[in-house]
Amino acid sequence: MNELHHENGKFAKKAIGQPLIPVTFRVSPTERQQLSDQAQAAGLSVSEYIRRRALGLTVVSRSDLTLLNELRRQGGLLKHYILADDHQHALRREAAQTLAEIQEAIRRIAHDR
């Protein structure tokens, strides 16, 4: 069984009741830098980044999370605008179409994670 635990501002997957065993492998300096850059973009340690990639787990970049949160915020604001009764029908229809496009963008980004 696995659990997520919070460690130094990051989440790591840890097997319950099982010690973590070090795994080593060799990479070129360029590959090491790429791994480091990708881990940093995801807000993970290099070890956790490699573990997630090797096990086929989700790795989400911080910029994707920020974008998803902003799209959700904008969609919520637009929804309140649409539901207000003091707007012309044409504007509400256009706002509803924009909201649908925001929702589709959220689905695409969330699916790619």
pLDDT along the chain (113 residues), means of 10: 45 66 93 94 90 86 79 83 70 81 82 59
- In the chain, domain spans: 2-54, 62-112
Contact 72, 82 (CB under 8 A): no
The answer to whether the pTM exceeds 0.95 is no
